[in-house]
Structure 1
Amino acid sequence: MSAGTGVILIGHGRYAEGMFSPLNMLAGIPENFAGVEYPVGMSEEALEEAVLSEIGRMQNCPSILLLTDVEGGTPFKISVKIAFENERVTAATGTNLAVLLQLAVMASGEADLARELPGVIDAARNGMKVIDVNKLRS
């Protein structure tokens, strides 16, 4: 695995698979991106081991982003715990396709994705809109 920011997407059920499918269609999945699923019946310990295993595979990455689906869930709690224990790991939550897509595009360059993440989140937040079809009709 080449150097660069590692990104591990972690979520409930088959969240990572569901997010990587459209990402692959739109931009491809960068080499340093991985997913960890948290299916029904999996223990918290097994999830933590799976995340740590992916981090181990990214040993050449100077920094790692752990991106989770929702704040407060088990993937979130484990990601925060791991980030607390490892200074090269950053945890974030509320990941959507817009965030993942922008990170994937940026991953092809030399960007430190952990440093760029706040701007990426702002861009994704600003991209969420309600479409007033009445304005379109006029």
Structure 2
Amino acid sequence: MKAIFVCTHGNAAKELIQSAEMICGKQENTSFVPFEVNESAENLQGKIVAELAKLDVTEGVLFLTDLKGGTPFNVLVRLLENFTEVELLAGVNIPLLLEAFLSREMLTLKDLASQVAETGRLGIYEYAMPVEEIEEDF
């Protein structure tokens, strides 16, 4: 089973995983690390490496983070060379994470990353209030 690893600013990673698990059940081979206020990139990298050592990455790992160019993203980019099968996506949200959980055993890692990214985009929806028709008196 492909590993899924989430790293975000603050506690968002933990909360996103817990919210997704409320919908699709407890997930194995999944972990996270929060990036804390005033934490150095080097310290974050050490925490990530330690947490990744607990996962089975033989089928690959899908890294998910919140913000392209942020410290969690930049640290994960530096770690990519340590893996033979790895994908990194920024912009994690619950629909994206659910898709990753539900599809990770059926797709190649590359296809999983593409499918998950598309689902994340489609998970953004702007609701438009229905316009009431105004009756005019003539």
Shorter-chain TM band:
0.7 to 0.9
Which segments of structure 1 move beyond 6 Å, counting only runs of 4 or more? none
Q: Which residue of 2 aligns with 1:65?
A: 62
Quote how far apart the aligned CAs of 1:21 are. Answer: 2.3
* Stretch deviating more after TM superposition (6-15 or 21-30): 21-30
Residues 103 and 113, structure 1, Cα contact 8 Å, conserved in 2: no
Q: Which residue of 1 aligns with 2:100?
A: 103
Q: Secondary structure at the match of 2:116?
A: helix
Identity of aligned residues (%): 24
Q: In structure 2, which of residues 105, 110, 121 is the aligned counterpart of residue 125 of structure 1? A: 121
TM-score scaled by structure 2?
Answer: 0.84
> What is the distance in 1 between the residues matched to 2:48 and 2:82?
13
Q: Report the structure number with the largest CA radius of gyration.
A: 2
TM-score scaled by structure 1?
Answer: 0.84
- Structure 1 unaligned spans of 5+: none
> In the TM superposition, what are the counterparts of 1:2-41 in structure 2 within 5 Å?
4-41=1-38
Aligned length: 133
- Structure 2 unaligned spans of 5+: 134-138
Q: Which residue of 1 aligns with 2:136?
A: none
Quote how far apart the aligned CAs of 1:34 are. Answer: 0.5
User: What do residues 42-74 of structure 1 show as CA deviations (whole Å, max 9, x unaligned)?
Assistant: 221111111112222224532011111101100
Q: Structure 1's 31 and 46: CA in aligned 2 closer, same or farther, altered over 3 A?
A: same
Aligned residues: CA RMSD = 1.9
Q: Which residue of 1 aligns with 2:87?
A: 90
Q: Structure 1's 7 and 114: CA in aligned 2 closer, same or farther, altered over 3 A?
A: farther
Quote how far apart the aligned CAs of 1:120 are. Answer: 2.1
Q: Secondary structure at the match of 1:11?
A: strand
